[in-house]
């Protein structure tokens, strides 16, 4: 049976634990889990990485990141992997963290599928029209999400060409 920690918000009423639901913290905590799944890192490494990913437009402060890491550790989503040079704490994702991350990703994919079914209604509600350009964009995004890994490079080439062509219209 799933625990609250393993559930994700969506159309079925799932919710995220603790601070995950507070103003933007959810995205950062999800990114921390994702990043630590790839390899163990320190808080400083995470701050640098987030700064690089946002082109420096948003850099989490130490005063917000370190308490978040502590809370995630208390919730058994991450744990101390090692104490590096200069007493730098290196974190890694726990099995509970992996399960939560996987469930969030899986539920997000399910939510995207449901949204895809309602795309025409969504276009009318949120964009005021349902032009073919917007429909095509949504269709492309949906298809890209289902391309098998062995065809990713081919899809990259196609989307890069499309992007160059679109930029040429400016």
pLDDT in tens, 7-65: 333 323 334 444 444 434 578 898 999 999 999 999 999 999 999 988 888 888 999 99
Q: Using CA atoms, how far apart are residues 164 and 142, in angstroms rounded to an integer?
A: 20
Take residue 94 and report the two structure tokens written for it. 């726990």
Phi then psi dihedrals of residue 32, to 5 deg: -60, -45
Q: Check if the beta carbon of residue 52 is closer than 8 Å to that of residue 33.
A: no
Mean pLDDT over residues 66-75, rounded? 94
Task: Tell me which residue has tokens 């507070």.
Answer: 22
Domains of the chain: 4-100 (1.10.10.10), 118-167 (no CATH)
Query: Phi and psi dihedrals of 39, rounded to 5?
Result: -170, 150
Structure tokens at 159: 């989307």
Whole-prediction pTM value?
A: 0.61
Q: What is the mean pLDDT of the chain?
A: 79
* Model pLDDT, residue 13: 35
What are the φ/ψ torsions at residue 13 (nearest 5 degrees)? Answer: 85, 15
The mean pLDDT of 153-168, rounded to a whole number, is 91
The 10s digit of each residue's pLDDT in 91-113 is 999 999 999 999 888 887 777 77
């Amino acid at each position: 049976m799933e625990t609250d920690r393993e559930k994700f918000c969506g159309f079925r009423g799932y919710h995220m634990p603790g601070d995950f639901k507070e103003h933007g913290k959810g995205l950062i905590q999800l990114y921390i889990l994702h990043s630590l799944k790839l390899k163990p890192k320190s808080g400083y490494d995470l701050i640098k990485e987030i700064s690089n990913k946002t082109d420096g437009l948003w850099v989490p402060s130490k005063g917000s990141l370190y308490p978040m890491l502590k809370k995630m550790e208390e919730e058994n989503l991450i744990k101390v992997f090692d104490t590096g040079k200069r007493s730098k704490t290196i974190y890694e994702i726990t099995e509970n963290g992996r399960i939560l991350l996987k469930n969030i990703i899986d539920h997000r994919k399910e939510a995207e599928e449901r949204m895809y079914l309602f795309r025409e209604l969504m276009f009318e509600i949120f964009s005021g029209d349902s032009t073919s350009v917007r429909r095509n964009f949504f269709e492309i995004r949906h298809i890209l999400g289902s391309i098998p890994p062995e065809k990713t490079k081919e899809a990259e080439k196609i989307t890069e060409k499309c992007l160059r062509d679109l930029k040429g219209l400016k």
